[in-house]
């Protein structure tokens, strides 16, 4: 039976691990876990006999594929697969999948939580503001953005979205108002929430052309990827827009400078934690195990991304 390696530098919650094991055992599959590893060599050694691989944000590059001669499939238990070298995967005849939607509610709850945290002055006890009645603009309208929209509407925010790949009808069906340019996202939002993947096209795409448009007191929320922001432009936005604030689930490379210059106007989680819930880990982990089983048993490639 196929041998599955679950390699998670940032491990799944314990009950998620148990459920993944049960799923694989019920299918009669062999498995092993490599958790909290710090050296690439540990990953490479573990890959030597793996036919299937489940990962989170773990970097799976050319060297990893070279170390995995039996590998047939990698499932990224989560949404973003920018950590996987798709060209190399294809060259090694390895199928890559993600598990769209499975951890999205957790990320959405964190995005809303970070908005409230900033609106209430990082819970310092001083008078803050409310989210109700404010305009929220969503850049990208995938699963996370849709969950954010649902919660934000419940709070009473006025929600808009722009996604070049999604029709107005789909956006409107979720009770959200479609926008037709990325500039409008940045101009209109009291809260601007980023939900775009990190690709060659989007990296550093949130640049001064866009950040120059934000309101003086806008709050930019990034639970997507730090790479989509052009960090010098971010610094400039702080200098020019006196009440502009930025919250991010992953600290930018210039976080020390931002924290030093604008301690009240930035917040960064210590470690990427959008999907760090038991529920998200369970949903994404089980989905990954099921997709591997469906691939080997039925050739199912529904969630293939390469
Ligand atoms: C994702 O792309 O699914 C999220 O960013 C979560 O990533 P993680 O599994 O590394 O926490």
Backbone φ and ψ of 200, nearest 5°: -60, -35
Are residues 150 and 45 located together in one domain of the fold? no
Instruction: Give the ligand 1 atom nearest the CA of 103.
Output: 3
Q: Which of 81, 103, 108 to mutate to test the pocket of ligand 1 (most atoms within 8 A of CB)?
A: 103
| CATH number (domain holding residue 261) | 3.40.50.720
Share of residues in the chain with pLDDT > 70 (%): 100
Residues 115 and 241 reside in one and the same domain: yes
Please identify, by atom number, the ligand 1 atom nearest to the C-alpha of residue 10.
10
State yes or no: pLDDT of 86 exceeds 90. Answer: yes
Judgement on whether residues 43 and 190 belong to the same structural domain of the protein: no
**Per the confidence metrics, is the pTM higher than 0.95?**
yes
Angstrom distance (rounded) from CA 120 to CA 130: 8
pLDDT for residue 287 is more than 90: yes
**Residue 233's pLDDT is what?**
98
- 118 pLDDT band, cuts 50/70/90, is very high
The residue-averaged pLDDT of 155-163 equals 98
Tens-place pLDDT, residues 43-52 = 999 999 999 9
Ligand 1 center to 126 CA (angstroms): 33
pLDDT at residue 271, as a whole number? 92
What are the residues facing 97 on neighbouring strands? 75, 304
How far does the centroid of ligand 1 lie from the alpha carbon of residue 159, in Å? 24
Q: Is residue 247 part of a domain?
A: yes
Q: What average pLDDT does the segment 167-188 reach?
A: 98
Q: Is the same domain home to 79 and 111? A: no
Of the chain, the percentage scoring pLDDT greater than 90 comes to: 99
Query: Which band of pLDDT confidence, cut at 50, 70 and 90, is reported for residue 217?
Result: very high
Domain assignment present for 306: no
- Does 145 lie in the same domain as 181? yes
Q: Tell me which residues have their CB closer than 6 angstroms to ligand 1.
A: 10, 56-57, 78-80, 103, 272, 274-275
**Of all residues in the chain, what percent are helix, strand and coil, respectively (each to 5)?**
40, 20, 40
pLDDT value of residue 208: 98
Report if residue 303 sits inside a domain.
Answer: no
Number of domains in the chain: 2
Same domain, yes or no, for 248 and 138? Answer: yes
CB within 8 Å of 113: residues ≥ 6 apart: none
Domain assignment of residue 43, yes or no: yes
Same domain, 161 and 80: no
pLDDT tens string 236-260: 999 999 999 999 998 999 999 999 9
Q: What is the pLDDT of residue 140?
A: 98
Nearest CA to ligand 1 atom 10: 57
Q: Could you tell me the distance, in angstroms and rounded to a whole number, from the CA of residue 55 to the centre of ligand 1?
A: 10
Q: Are residues 190 and 85 in the same domain?
A: no
Report, as an integer, the average pLDDT of 294-302: 98
76-89 average pLDDT score: 98
Ligand 1 atom having least distance to the Cα of 223: 5
Q: Do strands 245-248 and 266-268 pair parallel, antiparallel, or not at all (unpaired)?
A: parallel
Are 79 and 121 in a shared domain? no
pLDDT of residue 250: 87
CA of 10 from ligand 1 middle (Å) equals: 10
Residue 42 CA to its chain's centroid (Å): 25
Q: Are residues 68 and 12 in the same domain?
A: yes
Four-residue CA torsion sign, 252, 189, 138, 267: positive
Residue 62 and residue 192 in one domain: no
Ligand 1 centroid to Cα of residue 47, in Å, is: 21
Range of the domain at 160: 105-268
In a domain, 305, yes or no: no
Distance 216 CA to ligand 1 centre (A): 31
């Amino acid at each position: 039976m196929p041998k599955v390696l679950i390699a998670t530098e940032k491990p799944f919650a314990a009950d998620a691990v148990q459920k993944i094991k049960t799923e694989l055992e019920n299918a009669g599959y062999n498995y092993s876990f490599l958790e909290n590893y710090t050296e690439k060599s540990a990953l490479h050694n573990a890959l030597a006999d793996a036919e299937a691989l489940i990962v989170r944000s773990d970097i799976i590059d050319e060297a990893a594929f070279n170390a995995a001669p039996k590998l047939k499939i990698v499932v990224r238990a989560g949404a973003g697969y920018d950590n996987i070298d798709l060209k190399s995967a294809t060259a090694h005849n390895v199928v890559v999948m993600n598990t769209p939607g499975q951890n999205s509610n957790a990320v959405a709850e964190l995005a809303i939580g970070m908005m409230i945290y900033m609106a209430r002055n990082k819970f310092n006890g001083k008078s803050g503001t409310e989210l109700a009645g404010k305009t929220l603009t969503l850049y990208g309208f995938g699963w996370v953005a849709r969950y954010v929209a649902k919660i934000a509407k419940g709070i009473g925010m006025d929600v808009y979205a722009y996604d070049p790949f999604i029709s107005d009808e789909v956006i409107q069906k979720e009770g959200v108002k479609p926008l037709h340019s990325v500039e409008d996202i940045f101009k209109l939002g009291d809260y601007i929430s980023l939900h775009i993947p990190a690709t060659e096209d989007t990296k550093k795409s949130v640049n001064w052309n866009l950040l120059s448009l934000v309101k003086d007191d806008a709050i930019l929320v990034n639970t997507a990827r730090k790479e989509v922001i052009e960090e010098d432009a971010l610094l400039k936005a702080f200098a020019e827009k006196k009440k502009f604030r930025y919250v991010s689930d992953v600290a930018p490379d210039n976080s020390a400078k931002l924290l030093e210059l604008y301690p009240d106007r930035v917040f960064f989680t210590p470690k990427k934690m959008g999907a760090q819930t038991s529920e998200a880990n369970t949903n994404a982990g089980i989905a990954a195990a099921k997709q591997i089983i469906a691939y080997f048993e039925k050739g199912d490639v529904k969630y293939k991304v390469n």
